[in-house]
Amino acid sequence: MTKITILLCLYSTVMLSQNITGTLYDAEAPISGAKIMNITSKSITSTDGSGNFKIYAQINDTLIFSSLFHHTKQLAVTESLLKDTQVFELIKIVNELDEVEVQGAVTAKEMDEEELTKTVQQQFKNDIEKHGYKYKKPNTGPLDFIAIGASIIKLFKRKTPKEPETVETTITSDDFDTLFKSDKFFNDKFLVLNLNITKDYKHLFFGYCETKNISSSLLHKDNKIYLIDKFLDYSEEFREILNESQKQ
């Protein structure tokens, strides 16, 4: 092989293997903190506060763009993507509300006097049974201590319902495992693309999160956003500990 051939091969390799520089947007603004992963080379990066990023890539590599509140985008690397700065767009995830069909105009219901009278009479009867003392004539003679005593005894016999005690529990490693097997959002894809944690370290990460005593109330669907914050914080701590242990 001549020197010229070697130089051409090296030049070709450099041209087809370099960094993709780009900016990630949605319809409103640049997306910060989004993940860009080259699943061919297993490299990963994230956008800065202005949506800018740089990632190593070759022609025919596959890139995946993901963000917590955007639809994931996948594309193959072409020669044109390796030239200049590129602009990529993600679509925001928007909650779609079911349409409500209104069946005609709303009209006021006419009052049924007979039915209303019966209702009032029944309510009056029920109130007499429960609070009969309100409807007795005032006692002008000596005090009826027997009646008073009976009333006091009734008061003591009334049972005041106790408020149910709320027992605060924390999420265990098994709870996390069940969540990531059943939930559409929290899954292996979320672990890899958003938390930078591979499947090999999944259960070790769950064990680490268990030590943080995360309230089980965050498992409720309305608290999903707070659980995401916890995962982002603890995954960063977990990766730092993992990197330190691998250096030893």
Q: How far apart are CA 227 and CA 217, in angstroms?
A: 9
Residue 141 forms part of a structural domain = no
Residue 77 · residue 96 · CB < 8 Å: no
Mark 13-30 as b/e (b = at least 16 C-beta within 10 Å). Answer: eeeeeeebebbbebeeeb
Residue 22 sits at φ, ψ, to 5 deg, of -160, 180
Give residue 244's pLDDT: 77
Q: What is the pLDDT of residue 246?
A: 67
Considering 39, 69, 89, which residue would you say is the last residue of a domain?
Answer: 89
- Residue 192 falls inside a structural domain: yes
Counting beta carbons within 10 angstroms of the beta carbon of residue 196, is it exposed (0 to 12), middle (13 to 18) or buried (19 or more)? middle
Residue 116 lies in a domain: no
Report the pLDDT value the prediction gives residue 13, as an integer from 0 to 100: 43
* Containing structural domain, residue 191: 173-247
In the listed set 89, 114, 139, which residue is the last one of a domain according to the structure? 89
Q: Does residue 101 fall inside a structural domain?
A: no
Structural domain ending residue among the three candidates 32, 59, 89: 89
Residue 84's pLDDT is 83
Please tell me the predicted confidence (pLDDT) of residue 12: 46
What does each of the 248 residues of the chain score in pLDDT, given as a tens digit?
554 444 444 444 444 458 899 999 998 889 988 888 888 887 888 899 899 999 999 999 999 998 878 888 998 999 888 888 899 999 888 744 344 444 444 454 555 556 656 665 666 666 666 656 555 555 555 555 556 556 555 655 555 555 555 567 999 999 999 999 999 889 988 888 888 888 888 888 999 999 999 999 999 888 888 888 899 989 888 888 877 776 65
CATH number of the domain where residue 15 is located: 2.60.40.1120
pLDDT of residue 238: 87
pLDDT at 243: 79
Helix axes 202-210 and 173-182, enclosed angle (nearest 10):
130
- Count up the domains in the chain and report the number: 2
Distance CA 162, CA 61 (A): 64
Q: Within a domain: residue 151?
A: no
- For the whole model, what pTM was predicted? 0.40
Put the strands of the sheet holding 62-67 in their side by side order. 43-46, 35-38, 62-67, 70-76
Q: What's residue 11's pLDDT?
A: 45
Domain presence at residue 162:
no
User: What does the block give as tokens for 181?
Assistant: 């097997």
Dihedrals phi, psi of 18, to nearest 5 degrees: -160, -170
Domain-embedded: residue 223? yes
pLDDT value of residue 200: 83
42 located within any domain = yes
